[in-house]
Amino acid sequence: MNIELLERYGPRMLEGLLVTIELVVISVVLGALLALPIALARMSRSPILRGASLAYVTFFRGTPLLAQLFLFYYGSGQFRHFFESIGLWWFFRDAFLCCLFTFTLNTAAYQAEILRGAMTSVPRGQREAAMALGIRGPAVLFRVILPQALIVALRPLGNEVILMIKGSAVASIVTVFDIMGVADLAFARSFDLSVYLWAAVLYLVLVETLSRVWNVLERKLTAHLAVAGTRA
Amino acid sequence: MGEALGLLGFGPDGWGDELAAGAWLTIRLALATLPFGLAVGFLAALARNSPRRWLRTPGNAFTTIFRGLPELLTLLLVYFGGQTLFTRIAGLFGGAQIEVSAFVAGLVALGLVFSAYASEVFLGALRGISRGQHEAGYALGLRPFTVLRLVVLPQLIRLALPGLANLWLVLLKDTSLVSVIALNDLVRETSVAVHATKEPFLFYLVACLIYLAMSIVSSVGIMRIERWSERGVRRS
């Protein structure tokens, strides 16, 4: 363990940890907000909505996150005049914001498919029962279908968050100083491989913490489903 | 529009041949990684399924680590770490600096990630094969390895196929990371084209569409393989 190296880059590494957490939390939350309308569009009766949402989901799930990031980060430069004229250039010029933008669109596609799968797993009778009780419109979705669907979606959503934590490392390639970015910087200056091992430990701790939290969450949320005596 | 087609064309003025060369490297890398990842993943699954603790613990640790690390970090650790390691070993024998080929580093790193996920798929499939199948094999007087080869493996393939197919699609996309260690894959060739033409949006969009095409072709192939693996299983 190189103490001098740790003194110099340790604090920056922790700042990088915060940047990684910020990237993941913001994009996963914004992605979730986008995912619901996309999932509903996927199940819609309108062929236009269905086609458009299918194209969106296929594109973002079928291409590498790195290629998407380059497409938006470098690609937006080509439309600089346009973005300047609508006053959005500051957004696409900023590597961090561009990463947020790309990650949000990407995770929205994955989350939409998870949600869609979960919503289809809710038996038809639930919707019919709700309608028979005189519940209408959005209340059927938000009070009856979604609460049951989210329990099914919980585990895959947790996996998606873990994939985002790992995937967010590509932000370092467009000069964002997340955990990976700081490790790259420290390695380029010191040629000491141990900086990558610190980064590895940080990522493992992050992923392991999340999966524990998720297990607790799952146990709490499904407590009412446990058959008496099967769970301590 | 005509200009864009010219840029994408083949020949000295277009970048079509460069992109094709990059796509070809991407495909080769993914195809070369697959057998390595499958073999290591299967061994890891056997270790994790073993009654012996000294096999189970390292198997589980291996899976936890390579499923938890970002693929990019694994790649750099293998690339730079391999370089340091081999240079040190060579140093013991009075050798000099050793360069690790980026292709091999990419293959090993992507293979490790693939195998960690694959071991999870294989483990699930192993547990899906009932104990009686093993016992029947032994009752027929087959040796353990023969039971594995003739009784377990054929059933395992069918159970593991959907999971492995997903991992193949993930692998195809993960290959894009090797552009970081200067391997001329599709993303890197595209970046070179972008540098020369100043048309980032066009070229990265085309690169994305090429990946998409690879995914779609793979999905069709996977569907055929799945149908083949289900021959002999009665359809309900």
**pLDDT value of residue A2:** 75
Does residue B44 register a pLDDT over 70? yes
pTM, 2 dp? 0.91
Helix and strand tally (H, E) in chain B?
10, 0
Distance from CA of B137 to the nearest CA of A (A): 34
Contacts of residue B225, Cβ cutoff 8 Å, sequence gap at least 6: B161, B165
Q: Please give the Cα distance from A163 to A97 (Å, whole number).
A: 19
Q: Please give the Cα distance from B84 to B98 (Å, whole number).
A: 8
Q: What is the 3-state secondary structure (H, E, C) of B83-96?
A: HHHHHHHHHHCCCC
Q: Please give the Cα distance from A198 to A184 (Å, whole number).
A: 12
**pLDDT value of residue B65:** 95
| Residue in A167, A170, A208 nearest the CB of B68 | A208
pLDDT in tens, A129-187: 998 999 888 899 999 999 999 999 999 999 999 999 999 999 999 999 999 999 999 99
Torsion of CA B43, B117, B179, B34, to 10 degrees: 50
**b/e code B73-89 from CB counts within 10 Å (16+ = b):** bbbbbbbbbbbeeeeee
Domains, in order of start, for chain A: 3-225 (1.10.3720.10)
What residues of B are in contact with residue A183 (Cβ under 8 Å)?
73
Which helix (H) or strand (E) segment holds residue A39: the answer is helix A3-42
Amino acid at B42: F
Q: Please give the Cα distance from A119 to A186 (Å, whole number).
A: 46
Q: Please give the Cα distance from B37 to B52 (Å, whole number).
A: 23
Q: Do A180 and B201 touch (CB under 8 A)?
A: no
Does residue B138 register a pLDDT over 80? yes
Q: Tell me, yes or no, if A167 comes closer than 8 A to chain B by beta carbon.
A: yes
| Closest CA relative to residue B118, chosen from B218, B55, B48, B217 | B48
Mean pLDDT throughout B191-205?
A: 91
Contacts of residue A97, Cβ cutoff 8 Å, sequence gap at least 6: A91
Which ranges constitute the DSSP H helices of A77-178?
A: 80-85, 89-93, 95-121, 124-132, 138-139, 146-167
Q: Please give the Cα distance from A54 to A39 (Å, whole number).
A: 9
Residue B42's pLDDT band, with cuts at 50, 70 and 90, is very high
Name the closest residue on chain B to residue A187, using Cα atoms: B80
pLDDT in tens, A74-125: 999 888 888 989 888 889 889 999 999 999 999 999 999 999 999 999 998 9
Q: What is the ipTM of this complex?
A: 0.90
Does residue B2 register a pLDDT over 70? no
Domain B13-229 belongs in CATH node 1.10.3720.10: yes
pLDDT in tens, A185-222: 999 998 888 999 999 999 999 999 999 999 999 898 88
Q: Do A66 and B200 touch (CB under 8 A)?
A: no
Residue A232's pLDDT band, with cuts at 50, 70 and 90, is very low
Percentage of chain A exceeding pLDDT 70: 97
| Residue in B69, B169, B205 nearest the CB of A204 | B69
What residues of A are in contact with residue B190 (Cβ under 8 Å)?
67, 70
**pLDDT value of residue B1:** 54
Among A20-34, A197-211, B138-152, the minimum mean pLDDT is found in B138-152
Q: Please give the Cα distance from B45 to B111 (Å, whole number).
A: 15
